[in-house]
Amino acid sequence: MKQAYYKLKGNDVIARMYNCPISLKFSIELAREIKSKPYKKILIYLEDIINLKRQLPLKRYNQNVGHRKGPSISGVKSGRFPVKVAKQFKKVLEMAKSNADYKGLESEKKDLIIKGCVVSQGMKRYSFQTKGKRRLRRDQTTSLEIVLVQQGKFVKKIEPKKEEIKKEEKKEEKKQEAEKLELKEEKDSKQEAKLTQKEQIEEQKKILNRERQKRHE
């Protein structure tokens, strides 16, 4: 999953995580449940799965899975509590949220929505079994890609800190230019003073020479 499945627009934000050690089947089921839903509600939903309060409904991969108590969710009563998968999805969502803040989306005023969630099979790694067994075990990984979108028009947010920094930089540049001008003026004045002193010394020497000549005469 090297290339993005979604074409990003002005108010879209993406976050990816490759080769996660989680179940591919549970990831597909969870991606279906969170798609086109608000970011804040999905965070609460994932925390409920981690705390074993709400189950993940299994519509596709539900062989040998028992029914849960209570009403059906998404038209299905069979479900599980994939804690590891929920934690990984939560990490990716937080990454996408931080990307949205960096981009300048006003996520506090207008809620972010999960535009899409793509799950694909990652690398297959070989590992040894426990207790000194020689037989190799093939571990499968899962790659995740989540896209967030903000409702309404996209207005790029400019942080006030950056504007203040730019103003300060301009002020410093002006100060440096003024200091350079002052130094030049001081140098010019010193050179003029040196020239006047040299002229005075030369005139005094000329007068002394004239007096000496008169005395000899």
Query: Which residues is 139 bridged to in the sheet?
Result: 125
Are 146 and 14 spatial neighbours (Cβ–Cβ below 8 Å)? yes
Mean pLDDT of 193-212: 74
Say whether pLDDT at 207 is over 70. Answer: yes
pLDDT value of position 129: 72
Q: What confidence category does residue 119 fall into, taking pLDDT thresholds of 50, 70 and 90?
A: very high
pLDDT value of position 178: 84
- Per-residue model confidence as pLDDT tens digits over 24-55: 999 999 999 999 899 989 999 999 999 999 99
pLDDT value of position 47: 94
pLDDT value of position 159: 52
Are 25 and 164 spatial neighbours (Cβ–Cβ below 8 Å)? no
pLDDT value of position 33: 92
Whether 130 is covered by a domain: the verdict is: yes
Q: What confidence category does residue 86 fall into, taking pLDDT thresholds of 50, 70 and 90?
A: very high
Above pLDDT 70, what percent of the chain?
84
Domain count, the chain: 1
What range does the domain containing 18 cover? 12-150
Which of 108-112, 145-149, 152-156, 191-195 has the least mean pLDDT?
152-156
pLDDT value of position 209: 78
Whether 24 is covered by a domain: the verdict is: yes
Whether 186 is covered by a domain: the verdict is: no
Are 104 and 157 spatial neighbours (Cβ–Cβ below 8 Å)? yes
> Measured between alpha carbons, how far is 61 from 78 in angstroms, rounded to an integer?
10
Whether 25 is covered by a domain: the verdict is: yes
Whether 158 is covered by a domain: the verdict is: no
Whether 209 is covered by a domain: the verdict is: no
Whether 171 is covered by a domain: the verdict is: no
- Domain CATH for 16: 3.90.470.10
User: Could you tell me which residue, 14 or 70, shows the higher pLDDT?
Assistant: 14
> Measured between alpha carbons, how far is 86 from 23 in angstroms, rounded to an integer?
11
Say whether pLDDT at 160 is over 60. Answer: no
Q: Could you tell me the pTM of the whole model?
A: 0.64
Whether 85 is covered by a domain: the verdict is: yes
